[in-house]
Amino acid sequence: MEESKEDETLERDSLETVEKKEEAGEDLRSLLLPDIKDLPPIPPSAVESNFVRYFAADFMKPGHDQYVYRHANGLCVIGLAPTHVALREKGGVTAVDYNVGKSDRSEMKVTGKRKRNAQHFESNSALCKVCANGTFYVVRCCVKGSLLEVNDRLIKQPDLLNSSADREGYIAIIMPKPADWLKIKDSLLSHEDYRKLRGL
């Protein structure tokens, strides 16, 4: 078959483009693949990498251990520490109720960038009640600030507290003012000090 010169050039050009693309693909892959030697056997978790973990031991009552994960942007995630007395009960946590006294914390709706309609709470304000083995335990804010969010998944799935209280079982997210954080920071334990205290 006779091919005109033009066809030849076109074919060569498209071949070159394909080759170029393949080459680019290879370059990309080599950039993406990591060096096995550099990979740790167990990497730090998202919580470990992005938050500083603080703990409040025996908060207002013995055995009521809670955590405060503080993000670099100032937000604090509140939850039950692994040594919380409710998590030691037979059968674990069976129910979570955000309706504490004055209002149902799960009803609030915070909107907007400035979150102006968020409710302000003191560190000893109640967030919710968790029921374990027939007993109700009150979970408190630990940090003075605006309540941005409660983990309403706990209402339908209280078992999250038994499986992963330190992650998916978090209780609430609070935004303290910088001044308020500084005041309370020193009364909280670092992760290391907490472990030492509880002999972990």
Q: Pick one of 36, 101, 116, 199: the residue that binds other proteins (CB under 8 A).
A: 36
- What does residue 149 show for φ and ψ, rounded to 5 degrees? -160, 145
Q: Pick one of 56, 68, 77, 132: the residue that binds other proteins (CB under 8 A).
A: 77
Burial class of residue 76 (count of CB atoms within 10 Å of its CB; 0-12, 13-18, 19+): buried
| CA separation for the pair 79, 130 (Å, rounded) | 12
Residue 60 within binding range of other proteins, rule CB under 8 A: no
Residue closer to other proteins, measured from CB, 88 or 153? 153
Residue closer to other proteins, measured from CB, 1 or 36? 36
Residue 20 within binding range of other proteins, rule CB under 8 A: no
Specify the stretch interacting with other proteins by CB under 8 A; choose among 60-68, 130-138, 149-157, 179-187. 149-157
Specify the stretch interacting with other proteins by CB under 8 A; choose among 35-43, 85-93, 124-132, 187-195. 35-43
Residue 66 within binding range of other proteins, rule CB under 8 A: no
For every residue of 117-166, DSSP letters joined together read TPEEE-TTSEEEEEEETTEEEEEE-SS-EEEEEE-THHHH-TTHHHHHTT
| CA separation for the pair 22, 29 (Å, rounded) | 10
Question: How many CB atoms neighbour CB 84 within 10 A?
Answer: 24
**Which residues in this chain contact other proteins in the complex, by CB under 8 A?**
28, 31-34, 36, 39, 42-47, 50, 71, 73-75, 77, 110-113, 115, 148-149, 151, 153, 160, 167-168, 170, 173, 175
